[in-house]
Structure formats: C-alpha cells, structure tokens
Amino acid sequence: MTSLSENVKLSVNPTVQEWQQAVDGWIKTVGVRYFDPLTNTAVLMEEVGEFARIMARVHGEQSFKNPEEKQQWKVKMADELADVLFVLTCLANQHNIDLAEALQKNLQKKTERDATRHKNNNKL
C-alpha cells in the first residue's frame, strides 16, 4: 500500500483547517487536480444518495440485499459520510471558503435565530 505524503497526513484530531489542507494535498498529489465545481456537485449528490440508501435500510422500510450488508452497515455509513465530507471540502477549497469560519458563523446564526424556537416546540 502506498504511504501518503506528509502534506496529506492528518493528526489524530485534525482541525477543520488541517482537514481542508489534507484534502487539498491529496487532490494535488493523488487526485491530480480538482474536478470542476459542477462535477463535484454531482459527485456530492451521488455520495449523499449512497448515504441515503443505507439510511433507508437501517431506519426505513427497505431491507438489505444480503446478510453481509446488514452486518457492515455502520462501517459503510461512516465511509459514505466521509465521502460526503470529502467532496464538500473539495467544493469549499475550490471556492476559497474557510469551513471553520463558515461553521462558526452558521452556528452563531442558528443560536441567535433559534434561541427559543426548539425549546418552545411542543413536538420535540
């Protein structure tokens, strides 16, 4: 198995910036270049669909096709979520978006907007 170069390795608990740098390093050393943004958007939809297929079998009414799939659903789900995160990161990198900053701003927006919304929701 080929070892990853130093600019692709991740620490045990990487920061979001380290994750973005590792994805960029992987793209530039193993992936050759980023797919264009429209292709990456289509790939993102594909990966979300693969995650959704697992959700439909684990939590929905669909069944697994074979016993091995049923036994390995959590491993496969983790892999599909990682695929989604990878492609999202590619799109952020392509558009020079600092995901750590974007996530912080988004959490602040939700905190301000939803300060009492969920606490007052009698459905929850």
* Architecture in CATH of 35-113: Orthogonal Bundle (1.10)
Determine contact, residues 44/84, Cβ cutoff 8 Å. Answer: yes
Q: Where are the alpha helices (DSSP H) in 60-122?
A: 67-71, 73-94, 99-113
Q: What is the pLDDT of residue 9?
A: 73
pTM of the predicted protein model? 0.87
- Residues of the chain with pLDDT > 70: what percent? 94
Position 6, amino acid: E
CA gap 46, 51 in Å, rounded: 9
Is residue 4's pLDDT more than 90?
no
Q: Tens digits of per-residue pLDDT, 54-76?
A: 999 999 999 999 998 899 999 99
Alpha carbon distance 23, 89 (integer Å): 7
Give the start-to-end residue ranges of the domains of the chain: 35-113
| Structural contact between residues 91 and 7, judged by C-beta atoms closer than 8 angstroms | no
Query: pLDDT tens digits for 7-21?
Result: 567 888 899 999 999
pLDDT for 3 beyond 60:
no
- Of 75, 44, 69, 42, give the one whose Cα is nearest residue 57: 69
**What is the pLDDT at residue 12?**
85
